[in-house]
Amino acid sequence: MSHVASHNRSALLAAICAYLLWGALPVYWKLLASHQSLEILCYRVIGAFVLLAFVCWSRRKTDSFPTVREASKKGPAILLSASLIATNWLTYIWGVNSGMVVACSLGYFILPIFSTAIGLAVLHEKGDRAKLAALCVASIAVAIKVWAVGGVPIVSLGLALTFLAYGLLKRKTLFDPLTGLLLETFVLLPFAFGYLFLGNYPIATHATDLLLLFGAGLVSIVPLFFFAYAVRRIPFSTLGPIQYLAPALQFAIGVAIYHEPMTRLDLLSFGLIWVSLAILPFSQLKRAHLRGHYSRA
């Protein structure tokens, strides 16, 4: 196996791990439902920064930290990416603990549509009829959902757009994934500490509560690290099909575990999205079969 092929396979595996972990997150946030969403976010930021700093120190990666000049040049990009991921985190926590796990899953079902569209239209990645067909079917599904709710699904679109912008920004950064995540959480630290102290929140004293609150940092950085590694090594449009893993798992959790209601239009919308998901791998398998057939001829 070539060096490039090995890197591509590692990136693909990293992407799959990231989305499976994100898919299981609703269960974790439900355990913290007694806390306010902003409070959870603050602990999440602090916990993530502490863990990232420890990992950097243990791996002796401090020599890879940007200089003051480098950081100042990338300051606006770091601030923007930190704001995007914080907004995404907060929207997701609030949505899950407000009984909208299925709505959150829709946001991440929409995300691959936007990713594929941006990959084809903006990044000029190679497209084919299968990708265009999948985009059309998924777009119809989203339109049905918008009509069903009688307006724009704010939570769903908010999650999709903030994470799409975050992913695009991560592709352009010159920092390695670990350093980038550390800088983002560092930028958010003053806001996190300020909100916790100025908000006069009681300090959690129960061991389980403390573990869950600070554990939010761990469940945040692990999938983000996998994602940051993958997004710079595989085509953006290739991420499209993989990204359906997270919302599919979230959807199953919302319906099967938390018994969120599903209308016929909801089922139709999700059904069309799953059809669009099936188009891409089917097309890829067909092309692989044809290549094998011609290579043997």
235: left (phi > 0), else alpha (psi -120 to 50), else beta? beta
Which pLDDT value is given to residue 202? 62
Q: pLDDT per residue over 236-248, tens digit each?
A: 666 766 777 888 8
Residue 280 included in any domain: no
Note the pLDDT of residue 173. 67
- Helix and strand tally (H, E) in the chain? 13, 0
| Residue 84 located in a structural domain | yes
* Residue 73 maps to a domain: yes
Residues 257-270 pLDDT 10s: 999 888 888 888 88
pLDDT < 50 regions, the chain: 1, 288-297
pLDDT, the chain, mean: 79
The predicted structure's pLDDT at residue 71: 58
Determine the Cα–Cα distance for residues 47 and 28; give it in Å rounded to an integer.
Answer: 15
- pLDDT (tens digit per residue) in 205-246: 577 888 899 899 999 888 877 887 887 777 766 676 677 788
Q: What is the pLDDT of residue 65?
A: 57
Q: Is residue 273 part of a domain?
A: no
Per-residue model confidence (pLDDT) at position 169: 84
pLDDT of residue 77: 84
Quick check: is 162 in a domain? yes
Query: pTM, whole model, 2 decimals?
Result: 0.79
Tell me if 143 is assigned to some domain.
Answer: no
Structural domain that includes position 185: 3-128+151-262
Instruction: Note the pLDDT of residue 293.
Output: 44
| String of DSSP letters for 62-102 | GGGSPPHHHHHHTHHHHHHHHHHHHHHHHHHHHHHHTT-HH
144 in a domain, yes or no? no
> Contact at 8 Å (CB) between 279 and 137?
yes
Q: Is residue 291 in some structural domain?
A: no
Describe the crossing of helices 154-172 and 75-97 by its angle, rounded to 10 degrees: 150
Q: What is the rounded end-to-end Cα distance, in angstroms, of the chain? A: 24
At residue 94, the pLDDT reads: 96
**Count of domains observed in the chain:** 1
The pLDDT score that the predictor gives to residue 41 is 95
